[in-house]
Structure 1
Amino acid sequence: MESRYRRWLKALEGHRLDGFLVTHPPNLRYLFNFTGSTGLACFLGAETHLIVDSRYLEQAASETLNCQSMLAEKSLEDTLKTTLSNSSRIKGGTARIGLEAHHVSYDYILRLQSWTLPVEWVPTRDLIEEFRMIKDEEEIELLEKAFQMAQKAYQRSVKQVRAGMTEGEVAGILEFELRKAGGQGLAFETIVASGPRSSLPHGSSTARKIESDEFVLLDFGLKYQGYCSDLTRIHFLSDTQRPAIYQVVQEAQEAALSLIEPGVLSSRIDAAARGVISQHGFEDYFGHSTGHGLGLEVHELPRISSARPDEIQQGMAFTIEPGIYLPGQYGVRIEDAVVVTQNGYQLLSNRDQ
């Protein structure tokens, strides 16, 4: 974690920033090991102060690195203002302090700018997230564990699924098993979509009863020490016939996986999956990207899509999840995850489970 912090400080120099304000909880965890849900860290004048309220003071003191914990007496913002006012760097002239522009509101920025302090607030985008995009060995081990737990929970869950259960009941079983397997929370709201509702890519679980001749789409994941797993599986009940699009989606996933190696553009990986689906005449029924990065958040960089062609690098972790969704009929998505190695990739998930 010390090396992450030092690389970040070096990046601030490259952006001609004298300081930086970190408010996004995953970024606070990445740089300072703070696991609370609310706080802010401000680097200025060779020091970083982590400001928290009374709920997190003891926690911050025991777990954080690379910073000095401070109790917010009135509010986080008031304490930040006081801290900046007392900084010798501020007294020496105008300081350029970076902001996580896509994690703070316009109203928040206006409040900061209303302070009569010699500070130029500089919006930045993905400055910390681009570091998080490349996982170190410890992070990869945590992701591997998170996926192992999730797949263990899935295997236990589907053995309990029966026709006549509601989607909500199945979601409850799966979420219980995710906790039982060691998950420390859900990575996102569990999706259980059966029959015609499986054509909804992100349909929430409902009270709909599952029929014996239907299949069920399950999209699920857990958090382990902050790191997220994310999987989508199709579970077939005893009387269910496997639809033809299932094999098409499998082929699309294979095509995408076959291209993964350092130096390849993420847009090429997306195009490979999309090309297979288009060859079978289903190009109009695959609307989302082929994948996304994951780590401390379930959706992070890189994006495996044509919208942002990122160059694939060793240490990146991301999903490959093509799908075909036929409105009013059914939909199929298969989602696995990889970490990029020196010469290719390593699966974080077991595609056979």
Structure 2
Amino acid sequence: MINRINAVRKLLNKAALDAIVVINPGNRLYLSGFTGTSGILFIDARRAILLTDFRYREQAAAQAPDYEIITFTGLFTEKLLEFITPSKSYRLACEGDYITYKQFIAIKESLQDITVHPVNEFVEALRLVKDNTEINKIGRAVKIADDAFANILPLIKPGVSEIELALELEFFMRRAGAEKAAFTFIVASGTRSSMPHGVASEKLIKPGELLTMDFGAVYQGYHSDITRTVLIGTSTAKQSEIYRIVLEAQIAALAAVRSGIKASEVDKAARDIIASYGYGENFGHSTGHGLGLNIHENPRLAAKDETILLPGMVVTIEPGIYIPDWGGVRIEDTVVVEENGCQILTRSPKMNLMEIF
């Protein structure tokens, strides 16, 4: 972790800041390796300190060997004053895009003789590009989700509820080594599949319905994200057409991913195809997003995101078409940006609308 600590120090120096307090759990894990639920990092030019409580003293020492471990009770700001010399010229950064306004005011009032400076996406900027260890963990999370999809296919049949399928997906992934589900699973059938975030309900699956499943696993802190749409029975011409359009858009977006391209250009590659078939208004979300220690990270593959993609960024590609009172189709893979393209981590089949009998 020492390289990551030093990277933070370089950012602090560049921004003319003296130190930073890190509260965001994802950033705390990234910078320290500490997985406990109670912990605050303090990093300046000389020291890297992990403040925690008595419960996590031994765990913190084992997981964060590059940090001084200090246990405390009460307000953490009182502890900070033990190793910060109060001065109006002292600039302490806090995560303005994570803490609430109430928390910020509390910190500022507790440290009245110190300038508290909110920063946005400070540590997150370091997390944009994943190293090989991170990519391997994401790959393992993707593999667990792929295996869960293969396991669930024989269980999809008329009369089974959406929530039963969601539970089986989660049970399988936990048995396969996942720490937890990556998010609340979307399992939406029939007309409910027109809802991009139609979480699993008690609805029973019926013959002739589209079924969209969006799920993922967490492995050693890192997330995966996959969406597949299948059909119960034999597809109609329109169902096959919509699926073919979404697949064409997804393949085009995958082909657009490479180092040096803007995130918005990947979005455009998918969006232009869907619009060309007259379904532009039925594709209302971004084409994808970054992921890692959080299920949604930067960059956003959206029309207004001008982020330049770099090798090692991990993003999803997930265009969709959603038609009210009819249904919807989404196809999603997780990929790693490379110099001249991308590595597709997701292996579950998608080339045809899978008909489940």
Shorter-chain-normalised TM-score: which range?
Answer: over 0.9
Give the structure 1 partner of residue 224 of structure 2. Answer: 229
Q: Distance in 1 between matches of 2:95 and 2:149?
A: 36
Match of 1:138 among 133, 139, 143: 133
Q: Distance in 1 between matches of 2:149 and 2:124?
A: 30
Mapping for residues 166-181 of structure 1, pairs under 5 Å: 166-181=161-176
Q: TM-score, normalised by structure 1?
A: 0.95
Match of 2:154 among 130, 153, 159: 159
Which is further off, 180-189 or 267-276? 180-189
Give the structure 2 partner of residue 254 of structure 1. Answer: 251
Structure 1: which amino acid aligns with 2:296?
A: H
Deviation, structure 1 residue 45: 5.5
Mapping for residues 22-101 of structure 1, pairs under 5 Å: 22-44=22-44, 46-74=46-74, 78=75, 80-87=76-83, 89-91=84-86, 94-101=89-96
Q: Distance in 1 between matches of 2:93 and 2:65?
A: 21
Give the structure 2 partner of residue 194 of structure 1. Answer: 189
Give the structure 2 partner of residue 272 of structure 1. Answer: 269
Percent identity of equivalent pairs = 37
Q: Distance in 1 between matches of 2:293 and 2:111?
A: 36
Match of 1:332 among 323, 329, 333: 329
Equivalent pair of 1:214/1:239 in contact (CA under 8 Å): no
Q: Distance in 2 between matches of 1:57 and 1:240?
A: 58
The answer for unaligned runs of 5 or more in structure 2 is: 351-357
What's the CA shift string for 1:49-102, capped at 9, x where partnerless?
21122332222121114311222223xxx2x32332222x41566310111111
Give the structure 2 partner of residue 205 of structure 1. Answer: 200
Match of 1:288 among 277, 280, 285: 285
What's the CA shift string for 1:112-154, capped at 9, x where partnerless?
1112542111111111111101000111111111101110011
Structure 1: which amino acid aligns with 2:125?
A: E
Partner SS state of residue 179, structure 2: coil
Deviation, structure 1 residue 252: 0.5
Deviation, structure 1 residue 213: 1.5
Q: TM-score, normalised by structure 2?
A: 0.94
Q: Distance in 2 between matches of 1:44 and 1:312?
A: 30
Q: Distance in 2 between matches of 1:161 and 1:81?
A: 53
Structure 2: which amino acid aligns with 1:343?
A: N
The answer for unaligned runs of 5 or more in structure 1 is: none
Partner SS state of residue 284, structure 1: helix
Structure 2: which amino acid aligns with 1:319?
A: T
Structure 1: which amino acid aligns with 2:295?
A: V
Partner SS state of residue 315, structure 1: coil
Equivalent pair of 1:171/1:190 in contact (CA under 8 Å): yes
Structure 1: which amino acid aligns with 2:323?
A: L
Q: Distance in 2 between matches of 1:121 and 1:301?
A: 25
Mapping for residues 108-123 of structure 1, pairs under 5 Å: 108-123=103-118
Q: How many residues align?
A: 348
Q: Distance in 2 between matches of 1:55 and 1:163?
A: 49
Equivalent pair of 2:148/2:172 in contact (CA under 8 Å): yes
What's the CA shift string for 1:224-276, capped at 9, x where partnerless?
00000000001222344443110000010111111111110011110110000
Deviation, structure 1 residue 198: 0.2
Q: Distance in 2 between matches of 1:112 and 1:191?
A: 38
Q: Distance in 2 between matches of 1:92 and 1:114?
A: 14
Q: Distance in 1 between matches of 2:136 and 2:43?
A: 30
Q: Distance in 2 between matches of 1:9 and 1:62?
A: 23
Q: Distance in 2 between matches of 1:180 and 1:235?
A: 24
Deviation, structure 1 residue 18: 0.3
Structure 2: which amino acid aligns with 1:182?
A: G
Q: Distance in 1 between matches of 2:147 and 2:278?
A: 35
Q: Indicate the RMSD between aligned Cα atoms, in angstroms.
A: 1.5
Match of 1:306 among 287, 303, 325: 303
Q: Distance in 1 between matches of 2:213 and 2:349?
A: 15
The answer to whether residue 123 in structure 2 is matched with residue 128 in structure 1 is yes
Equivalent pair of 2:288/2:302 in contact (CA under 8 Å): yes
Q: Distance in 2 between matches of 1:102 and 1:92?
A: 25
Deviation, structure 1 residue 298: 0.5
Give the structure 1 partner of residue 294 of structure 2. Answer: 297
Question: Compared with structure 1, are the counterparts of its residues 133 and 65 closer, same or farther at alpha carbon in structure 2 (3 Å cutoff)?
Answer: farther
Equivalent pair of 1:153/1:178 in contact (CA under 8 Å): yes
Give the structure 2 partner of residue 6 of structure 1. Answer: 6
Q: Distance in 1 between matches of 2:140 and 2:184?
A: 20
Give the structure 1 partner of residue 353 of structure 2. Answer: none
Give the structure 1 partner of residue 355 of structure 2. Answer: none
